[in-house]
Amino acid sequence: MHIYFDWASLFSSQGAFILKVLVPPVLYFLHGYGATIMAVAALFRPYEAWYIPFTKIQLWFTPGIFPKRRAKLAQAVATTVTETLLTPADITDKVEHLLTEENIYLTIDMFVDAVLKEFRDISKLHRLASDIAELSPTLLEHFVRSVIESLEQGKDNKIAAITEKVFDQVVLSARISLDQANEIAARLLEAFATPAKVRVGMITLLSPTNIASLEESINVHASGPYRLLARIIGVKRVCYEWRNFLEKEPEEAEKLIDDLVHRFGIRDQIAVQIANFDMRTMPLQTIANFKANLITFIESFLIEHKNDILESVRKVEGEAMSSVRNAIVRFNPESIPQEWLTRAKQDLTGFFASYLKRELGELLEKAIPALGMYAVISQKIDLFTARQLEDLVKRICHQELKALEWFGGLIGLGLGFIQIAVNAVRVGP
């Protein structure tokens, strides 16, 4: 059996042939193109839900897909951004690359220059001085109170750290001049070593028990000739005689002591010892113990005299305000040497660079969740109107959506030609 097509009989005329060849591709093209346009439009429109007239029955596919699923879309975009596109690791890495010493120095340089520029404005300077001066007593009292309360609770080590630094950098290396030493020695003699106090001290020292102990110690430890000499002189008898003199002749004894102090140059000897004293020559363990005792003394003093210290702070409220105000008003940025300013900026840069290098990871770990990026992105998208959401997507994907429409038309065109081929095959002999 032979299969053949009688094209002449299939198409009665040339016009009918052209019509049958062109109509299916055109119709299928229009159908595909229109269907794609409707599908893209259905993503966004209608903006609101439609209902069957006079009923509360909502029509399917209203509102559009994006407006209807806006909340879920917002959550999905927020999840994608925070978990894939902009993760904490990405933020940390970017911040670490940006926080170089050069960038930190530029930031500090601009900040310091901006602050100094504001200080050149006299009206602002006076206003700032007044505001800070009014606040200074409150800040001072709050600072003192918080420090002492932290000490009481054992939660603060600032006082210990400050005391230790002052001790290491000031006290440990401090030296007293000879003039100052003479003054200190004179005050010591006037307060603690007056003839009357020395006489009373010597009477106490020459007690019968101590005299007996002295005689026993000489007999045990002194060599033969010195022991013999002590017996000849009669140390015990001399001590008792000296004690009787001190007790029975107080005025003469005090005159004698005062004369001996001047003749022996006791004050000068004490002054020389004070001037030559260098704490750094002491054993390290002794210095460490002295430092620890000093810290303990200061902390205990602050805690025990808390109310007195706070009352003193309140009493100097006026002086504090005046001092702060005068210090700010008299401040002249031009008086700062440029070398010092540059060095200060470099020191601040080094401090912040070292601090951020050490603490950046922990700071970002706390800061990133606190920023609430997920909630911010989700809320922003959820607050978009349907039209804003449509404009946003079309602005981002305009070319892609247009290409999708044409792609739908091309598919329809291809189906049209396939339909022609199928029709041709179905035509029998």
Check pLDDT > 50 for residue 8: no
Q: Which of 93, 42, 40 is nearest to 68 (CA)?
A: 42
- Residue 353 amino acid letter: A
- pLDDT tens for 402-423 read 777 777 778 877 877 777 777 6
Structural domain spans, the chain: 124-154+283-335, 176-277
Q: Report the distance separating Cα 190 and Cα 254, nearest Å.
A: 14
Residue 136: per-residue pLDDT: 66
- The pLDDT > 90 percentage for the chain reads 0
Confidence of residue 3 (pLDDT cuts 50, 70, 90): very low
DSSP state of 429: -
- pLDDT tens for 360-406 read 667 766 666 666 666 777 777 777 777 777 777 777 676 776 777 77
58: which strand partners?
51
Q: Report the distance separating Cα 98 and Cα 106, nearest Å.
A: 12
- pLDDT tens for 256-283 read 888 888 888 888 888 888 888 888 888 8
Q: Which of 160, 182, 395 is nearest to 300 (CA)?
A: 160
Confidence of residue 7 (pLDDT cuts 50, 70, 90): very low
Residue 19: per-residue pLDDT: 60
Q: Name the phi and psi angles at 144, rounded to 5.
A: -65, -45
DSSP state of 62: -
Residue 61: per-residue pLDDT: 65
Mean pLDDT for 215-235 is 74
Confidence of residue 6 (pLDDT cuts 50, 70, 90): very low
Question: What does the chain come to in residues?
Answer: 429
For 1-32, give one letter per residue: b (16+ CB within 10 A) or e: eeeeeeeeeeeeeeeeeeeeeeebbeebbebb
Residue 95: per-residue pLDDT: 73
Residue 365: per-residue pLDDT: 66
Q: Please, which residues have CB within 8 angstroms of residue 211's CB and are 6 or more apart in sequence?
A: 236, 239, 240, 243
DSSP 3-state of 397: helix
- Outline where 206-337 has alpha helix (H): 208-221, 224-233, 235-248, 250-264, 266-276, 284-304, 306-315, 317-329
Q: Name the phi and psi angles at 343, rounded to 5.
A: -65, -40
Residue 248: per-residue pLDDT: 87
DSSP 3-state of 176: coil
Mean pLDDT for 198-217 is 85
Mean pLDDT for 223-249 is 79
Residue 412 buriedness (CB in 10 A; 0-12 / 13-18 / 19+): buried
Q: Report the distance separating Cα 321 and Cα 137, nearest Å.
A: 7
DSSP 3-state of 58: strand
Confidence of residue 1 (pLDDT cuts 50, 70, 90): very low
Residue 320: per-residue pLDDT: 65
